[in-house]
Amino acid sequence: MEKEKNLFEQFPPISTQEWEDLIIKDLKGADYEKKLVWKTNERFSVNPFYRADDLDVAYHLSKNGTFNYAKKNADWKIRQDFIVNDVEETNKLIGKAINNGVNSIGIDVSGFEVVTKEVLYKTLSGICPECIEINIICNKQALNVLDLVKEYFEKEKLDADKVHINIEYDPFADFVFEGENCINGIDTLRELILGCSFAPNMRVGVINASAFGNCGSALVEELAFGLNEAADVLDFLTESGLNIDNITKRIKFQYSIGSNYFMEIAKIRAARYLWGKIVEAYKPKENNEMYIHAVTSSWNKTLYDPYVNMLRTTTEAMSSIIGGINSLTVLPFNFITTNNDDFALRIAKNQQILLKEESHFDKVNDPAAGSYYIEFLTNQFIEIAWKQFLSVVEKGGFISCFKENYIQNVISETATKRNTAIATRRENFIGVNQFPNITESIDFELVPEKTEEKEEPSCCCCEDNINTFNTLQPYRGPEAFERLRLKTELYTKQTGKRPRVFLLTYGSLSMRIARAGFASNFFGCIGFEIINNNGFASVEVGITAAKNAEADIVVICSADEEYASIAPQIYKGLKDTSVVVVAGYPKDDMDKLTAAGVTNFIHVKTNVLESLENFQRLIIK
């Protein structure tokens, strides 16, 4: 009986205030808020610890502490998407993926001007549609593809109850990306829903919330605006006579999943809760559990050091599964440069198989349940996303707000803040704006940045038949740094000379090593050649070595107290041949240094992107 006693009874309970007092004592006067409280992009702050007391306000939990809107089944479909160019080659890749564990495929036929019966049948040749989920990505040709799929059912004599063939039609894609008629998209979705009655398991609509995430939005914005799209769809379609149960079982949601691990878990859980509450308002007769397809984010993936993308997608896959998705596409690590690469597809697929077969992520439903931290985050996502959702509803709904640029402006404001964080390295991308592999060279050309306003397309649902709103522009966060480095690559290819940075190290051993490392990392981001040195016995020897190296940029690496005496001399000796830069910010001697002509400084508060752009303009004419 003694062994059955609760050991925790031997320890006195500790209140939250006692923990706080101990933390404040350990901080020794440092500001608690600045040191330990995380200010997120999601418009709420995260504390350094959470306790059971924090669950008292988690109204999304039932009285017994469960999350009623969690996905009922822990398993998920391992999906892999293929862009169909060469039909026979794509079919081989699909067959190989299925044989190695994929149980859901996406075939993107949007590149065809017309999707023919031959294209569809050859792509699906040898695939058992009663065993594998098939998703056809074909936005502008969805109605045509629906007719082809109906013929396919009849030709193959398929048991409709066992088949899961979906047509992925985003009713807002042409509206938000091209500025085209928004009503046409919803009308098409209505026709698809009415026309797919032959296939009881078919979903024909996609609420593509990932579009917002891949434009740099915050997670709560992706969540809220996706639900706003869905609310407009429900309103239009129910008003047109469709039944709520028939609508909800025919659509799915698509979310992008980034590397903010716990936040992404909470986002998916909150999505299920909010969707459940929205649908309840329509008084459905059936269970309308949200169907979520997740795709690892493209926004945070890098062109350089692409193998790091594998690490990113691994945590993203984990958080999406724990959050409770129904199917998942892990983007190949090199998708930016290559389509349908067999090796990259195999790695992407194996990441999910490892999580399922070795880590057993498919065995526990809602494993985040009861976590004080994740339950708190879920609650915050619900509250803030709901406020954002209601603000759009009050302004007339998604379509109305998009025409008025409200949604675009909200996303743009967030994206600008994130871009600044990347430029100043408060948000890091390993291999791009932090710790670049300076030996890496890529022969690749990014899509040119838009420099001119495109001709505004007409939109018959807008006043005066003129589109006066902005369209969404997906991009990747690291892109700005990558463009600079690719410009260096092009210059090197054309001239046969890579811009050269010479580190003139002098004085204090610890400081010159630290600042040489900082400078190497700094200029490595732009792809310049770095010439490091162990340290020079005198300034004169360093100047001579820099001249002999024919350096484009010379970075003085020393201690702050040394710069007043050595930097003017080095600048005078090298100003005619090189751009002279000081690594650090010797604030007590700034006036003296600038008076001597030393005006270039790099330090931890520098806007790295702007600074590198300026240096590149000086070197690459």
> What is residue 3's predicted lDDT score, i.e. its pLDDT?
60
> What is residue 452's predicted lDDT score, i.e. its pLDDT?
45
SS3 at position 76: coil
Asked if residue 224 lies in contact with residue 389, where contact means CB atoms within 8 angstroms, the answer is: yes
Mean pLDDT (the chain) is 93
Residue 465 clears pLDDT 60, i.e. is over it: no
Secondary element (H or E) of residue 484 = helix 479-495
> What is residue 431's predicted lDDT score, i.e. its pLDDT?
96
Q: In angstroms, how far is CA 261 from the centroid of its own chain?
A: 12
Q: How far is CA 131 from CA 24, 77, 134, 389, in A?
A: 59, 12, 9, 38
Asked if residue 142 lies in contact with residue 169, where contact means CB atoms within 8 angstroms, the answer is: yes
Residue 508 has which token pair? 């204090």
Asked if residue 339 lies in contact with residue 85, where contact means CB atoms within 8 angstroms, the answer is: yes
Each residue's pLDDT tens digit, 503-521: 999 999 999 999 999 999 9
Each residue's pLDDT tens digit, 277-286: 999 999 999 8
Residue 68 clears pLDDT 60, i.e. is over it: yes
Q: Where does the pLDDT of residue 5 fall: very low under 50, low under 70, confident under 90, or very high at 90 and above?
A: low
pTM across the whole model: 0.93
Each residue's pLDDT tens digit, 343-382: 999 999 999 999 999 999 999 999 999 999 999 999 999 9
User: Cα(146)–Cα(120) distance, rounded to whole angstroms?
Assistant: 11
* pLDDT (average), residues 188-192: 97
> What is residue 171's predicted lDDT score, i.e. its pLDDT?
96
User: Cα(571)–Cα(558) distance, rounded to whole angstroms?
Assistant: 14
Q: Where does the pLDDT of residue 163 fall: very low under 50, low under 70, confident under 90, or very high at 90 and above?
A: very high
| Runs of H (alpha helix) within 302-453 | 308-323, 342-353, 372-394, 398-403, 406-423
> What is residue 467's predicted lDDT score, i.e. its pLDDT?
61
Residue 292 clears pLDDT 50, i.e. is over it: yes
Residue 449 clears pLDDT 90, i.e. is over it: no
Residue 427 clears pLDDT 60, i.e. is over it: yes
User: Cα(386)–Cα(446) distance, rounded to whole angstroms?
Assistant: 37
Hey, what amino acid is at 471? T
> What is residue 448's predicted lDDT score, i.e. its pLDDT?
74
* CA R_g for the chain: 28
Classify residue 405 as left (phi > 0), alpha (psi -120 to 50) or beta: left
> What is residue 286's predicted lDDT score, i.e. its pLDDT?
87
Residue 531 clears pLDDT 60, i.e. is over it: yes
Each residue's pLDDT tens digit, 25-47: 999 999 999 999 999 999 899 99
Each residue's pLDDT tens digit, 548-559: 999 999 999 999
Q: Indicate the domain borders of the chain.
A: 2-33+42-51, 497-619
Of the candidates 251, 425, 252, which has an alpha carbon nearest to the alpha carbon of residue 328? 252
* pLDDT (average), residues 417-446: 93
* pLDDT (average), residues 329-349: 94
DSSP string, 13-30: ---HHHHHHHHHHHHTT-
**Which CATH topology does 497-619 take?**
Rossmann fold (3.40.50)
Each residue's pLDDT tens digit, 132-146: 999 999 988 999 999
CB atoms within 10 A of CB 512: 24
Q: Where does the pLDDT of residue 461 fall: very low under 50, low under 70, confident under 90, or very high at 90 and above?
A: low
Of the candidates 104, 160, 167, 122, which has an alpha carbon nearest to the alpha carbon of residue 140? 167
* pLDDT (average), residues 417-429: 97
* pLDDT (average), residues 402-408: 97
